[in-house]
Amino acid sequence: MTQALQAPTSVPRHVAIVMDGNGRWASQRHLPRLAGHKKGVDALRRAVQASLDQGVSVLTVFAFSSENWSRPAAEVAGLMDLLSLVLDREVESLAANGVRLHFPGDRAGLSERVAQGLAAAEARTAHNQRLVLNVCFNYGGRWDIAHAARRLVAEGREITEKNLSEATALAHVGDPDLLIRTGGEMRISNFLLWQSAYTELFFSACLWPDFDDLEMARALKAYAERERRFGQIGEQVQQPIGPQYA
């Protein structure tokens, strides 16, 4: 039996995950790609529980990118149906566990049914404070930066780093401390480009449907062993100095 890893002594406040490998997981088992996405929901459920257990305050996951529209139409339609199903089945349980839902992304490209479902889930969990769960849907890092810039122009505000940060889709949670990507790929694929300037990266060979508590513990342990300097030298660093700790 695999021995569980000890809990890390330094837990990231905000963890982000690129949930990659659903399609490959299904292909390896000669199943339709959508079967992998459905199995990936179980992995997300485990990641949420692990975040609650470990004391993570914010979990942000990449569920559907602005580039995913180019996938086969049947897969895209299946993902939209799966999202609606998950909202119907999971929101009450998440609300009962103190999870607050946000869905950063461009809702202009979504159907009225999906957009209304996202808004209802956000409203239902709006007062929860135990964990913020950002499910980035129809999201892209370049879209986020461009959208924030357009917002500042429309409001007549100067485009500065501070103002741009405040106008992005994840301004409500601050920057991620740790970004995990599963599936063996070593890139961030247009995810949280602005927010990840000083984020620690952890790449896992594990396909997303197989992501479990042990793999989450490996990522958190790797994070705890690193020194975050934010441009300073090691001797200067006494405590995290990123804006999310202000």
Q: What is the pLDDT of residue 212?
A: 97
Question: For the sheet containing 178-181, what is the strand order?
Answer: 99-102, 131-139, 58-65, 14-18, 178-181, 200-203
Q: What is the pLDDT of residue 231?
A: 61
Question: pTM to 2 decimals?
Answer: 0.88
Q: What is the pLDDT of residues 20-29, one digit of tens each?
A: 999 999 999 9
For range 11-15, the mean pLDDT: 97
Strand, helix or coil at 71?
coil
Catalytically active residues are 20, 68
What is the C-alpha to C-alpha distance for residues 204 and 20, in angstroms, rounded to an integer? Answer: 10
Q: What is the pLDDT of residues 188-217, one digit of tens each?
A: 999 999 999 999 999 999 999 999 999 999
Q: What is the pLDDT of residues 185-196, one digit of tens each?
A: 999 999 999 999
Number of Cβ within 10 Å of residue 37's Cβ equals 23
